[in-house]
Amino acid sequence: MNKVFLIGNLTKDPELATTNSGVSVCRFTLAVTRNFSNAEGERDADFLNIIVWRGQAENCHKYLRKGSKCAVVGSVQTRSYDAQDGTKRYVTEIIAENVEFLNSRNSGEGQEKLEEKKDVAELEPIDDDSLPF
């Protein structure tokens, strides 16, 4: 079984491209923090290349930004190619089947809206006689 579940933050804005046959593909790198600390007491992170296809690729490009938190479900794929210097290079990537956006759409506006709320003592009473019911 080849199944991966990851939660992390984007290291940069996602990049959207289209194949010759018109299929959308989005690429981004996800920083995933490890569950244990290193010798200095800090938690290291792994930086994993994520590939998303078709409609979900377009949604990732539209809604995700550098620093966005998301969950990815997918599979690991390893491929190789010959570099210009003649050496064989290996690349490991995560092919996403599902990407969940974990930040709220208005995460930047949420705090401002909370601050705009009035205190209960500042509210004006309603005259019951003016209500239609």
Could you read off the pLDDT of 10-69 as tens digits, one per residue? Answer: 999 999 999 999 999 999 999 999 999 889 989 999 999 999 999 999 999 999 999 999
Domain hosting residue 34, numbered range: 4-117
Does residue 35 lie in a domain region?
yes
Does residue 43 lie in a domain region?
yes
Q: Strand, coil or helix: what is 129?
A: helix
DSSP-derived secondary structure letter, 22: S
Does residue 83 lie in a domain region?
yes
Distance separating alpha carbons of residues 20 and 123, to the nearest angstrom: 61
Q: Which CATH number covers residue 81?
A: 2.40.50.140
Q: Taking residues 106-132, report their average pLDDT.
A: 57
pTM of the model: 0.75
72 token code pair: 């990815």
Q: Could you give the dihedral angle defined by the CA atoms of residues 74, 80, 85 and 86, in that order, rounded to the nearest 10 degrees?
A: 180
pLDDT reported for residue 110: 42
pLDDT reported for residue 18: 97
CA 12 to chain centre: 10
Does residue 44 lie in a domain region?
yes
pLDDT reported for residue 103: 86
Residues paired with residue 49 on neighbouring β-strands, in sequence order: 29
Taking only the tens place, the pLDDT of each residue in 81-91 is: 999 999 999 99
Tell me: pLDDT of 104 over 90. no
Straight-line distance from the first to the last Cα atom of the chain, in angstroms, rounded to the nearest whole number? 63
Does residue 129 lie in a domain region?
no
What is the number of other CB atoms lying within 10 angstroms of the CB of residue 120? 6
